[in-house]
Amino acid sequence: MKTYSVALLAVALMAGSTAAGATGVAARSQATTLGTVTIPVIASGYRITLIFGPREAMYTQAEARRTHPKTGEIMLRGSMMMGGTGMGMPNRHLEVHVLDRRTMRPASNPMVSITYQALSPMMMRPVSVPVAVMVGLSMDMSDIHYGNNVSMAGGTYRVSVHVNRAYATYTVRL
Ligand SMILES: [Cu+2]
């Protein structure tokens, strides 16, 4: 995804840990404009950046070779969320970039899982995001990231990201 605006006004960080021994970090975006949100946090040797933007077209490598799209993203693994019973059409793109904090280069082959949960206007159960591995069209491998299109109405959400044994929790107002 190309990020056109960083609309984050405030980020608060706090450290945490789980009984399992993973270490985590929480971040909060307090207000946003223009619908693009970028929140980086440092957790256990990783820089884990959550980005929300508008829905993206996502192509397999074969589709991209065949149709030469001009915008969107290439999927290296996984598949695009199409929406379906009980969940509206995807309206946003949720992606997570994972850098090795020491080298600030993409972590190699991290295990990434992502869930989100609406907190308001109505509390909902956590939903897990089918994680695809993507690179923006015309971007190089430094853009590699994890996530999918999602259907998320306006509201406040908690997004939890696990990267190997590290985790980060984000509170986002969309
Ligand atoms: Cu993406």
Distance (angstroms) between ligand 1 centre and the Cα of 108 equals 17
Residue 19 sits in a domain of what CATH number?
2.60.40
Tell me if 73 is assigned to some domain.
Answer: yes
Q: How far is the CA of 16 from the centre of ligand 1 (A)?
A: 28
Q: Could you read off the pLDDT of 45-96 as tens digits, one per residue?
A: 999 999 999 999 999 999 999 999 999 999 999 988 877 656 678 999 999 9
Domain that holds residue 115: 8-173
Cα–ligand 1 centroid distance for 1 (angstroms): 6
| Dist. CA 19 → ligand 1 center (Å) | 31
Instruction: Determine the distance separating the centroid of ligand 1 and the alpha carbon of 9, expressed in angstroms.
Output: 23
Q: Is residue 3 part of a domain?
A: no
pTM of this structure: 0.83
Render the burial of 60-86: b for 16+ CB within 10 Å, e for the rest: beeebeeeeeeebbbbeebebbeeeee
Would residue 118 count as lying in a domain?
yes
Total domains present in the chain:
1
Question: Is residue 2, in this structure, part of any structural domain at all?
Answer: no
